[in-house]
Amino acid sequence: MKTKIMINGLPGNMARIVAEQAFVNPDFAVIPFSLSSERSAGRKYLINDSLSVKLIPPTKLVKTLCELKEKENFFIIIDFAIPAAVNINGKAYCNANIPFVMGTTGGDIAVLEEDILKSSICAVIAPNMARQVVAFQAMLEFAADSFPDLFKDYSLKAVESHQSQKVGTSGTAEDFYMERDPKKQLEEWKIPKEHLGGHGWHTYTLNSDDSNVQFEFTHNVCGRDIYVAGAFAAICYLADKMVSGGSGKGKVFSMIDVLKK
């Protein structure tokens, strides 16, 4: 049986790619409605020749959720809206008893988690859906917790490159450099031209205080397929938690939980 999903955030890039791939994925059925901005709302977004999605404004979110809940019964939302809407949307999903994957970065996560814990649904909060990257970060976190003073006298430098539209950073470090200039990305970073509009390249460098020892960790992602695969895994994880005896009700999960399935 296909899992029904509502993809919020169209016509944004991540929402668009997830919608396109979900439509041809035999495990999912895309609900033809998507939360969008006031500017885009009211029109239809054409995913392909067979499916168009009606874009709804934030002011009609609650009403639309109630109508869809009554019509569709069970479905899962995946949210790629704007950071400022994370808590507003999350609370609306909880009140409507609709499980969701929060893929948007931002908001007050503590408040979002509290809303979920008080609800009768479960959710995955996953600002980074790339499972392999999440696992890589977990390995580094394990090392840091297990050997807290191992790099005590080392300095950390981090550089990252994302598409020019990305505003914020994807992490923190003592020395953090963000590249958003397509010309430099192409000429200096050697990022493939076809991926200038969607990539995430990161390098973290640890140097000893005398500069005689250096460790370097790199993860480079071109395109968004790795995030789509993670999004689908998170949706399937939630569906299993909600359907299999309701074991996930009122619980918050992360991509680490999804990885451990």
pLDDT at residue 18 is higher than 80? yes
pLDDT at residue 209 is higher than 70? yes
pLDDT, the chain, mean: 91
Q: Which domains does the chain have, with CATH numbers?
A: 3-129+225-260 (3.40.50.720), 131-222 (3.30.360.10)
pLDDT of residue 202: 94
Q: What is the mean pLDDT of residues 21-40?
A: 93
Confidence label for 245 from pLDDT (cuts 50, 70 and 90): low
**Predicted TM-score of the model (pTM):** 0.88
- Residues 155, 207: contact at Cβ < 8 Å? yes
Listed range (90-94, 174-178, 234-238, 239-243) with the worst mean pLDDT: 174-178
A 10 A CB-CB count for 25 gives 16
- R_g over Cα of the chain: 20
pLDDT of residue 206: 95
pLDDT of residue 173: 45
pLDDT at residue 45 is higher than 70? yes
- Beta-carbon contacts of 157 under 8 Å, excluding residues fewer than 6 positions away, are 173, 174, 175, 176, 177, 204, 205, 207
- Residues 112, 88: contact at Cβ < 8 Å? no
Q: What is the mean pLDDT of residues 14-30?
A: 95
- Residues 160, 171: contact at Cβ < 8 Å? yes
pLDDT of residue 171: 41
pLDDT of residue 96: 96
pLDDT of residue 92: 97
pLDDT at residue 52 is higher than 70? yes
First to last CA, the chain: 20
pLDDT of residue 172: 40
pLDDT of residue 38: 82
Listed range (25-39, 129-143, 145-159, 244-258) with the worst mean pLDDT: 244-258
- Beta-carbon contacts of 22 under 8 Å, excluding residues fewer than 6 positions away, are 5, 7, 28, 30, 232
For the stretch 116-156, pLDDT in tens is 999 999 999 998 999 999 999 999 999 999 999 999 999 99
pLDDT of residue 247: 62
Listed range (43-52, 84-93, 95-104) with the worst mean pLDDT: 43-52
pLDDT of residue 41: 74
Q: So which residues are the catalytic ones?
A: 162, 166
pLDDT of residue 167: 53
For the stretch 166-181, pLDDT in tens is 655 544 445 689 999 9
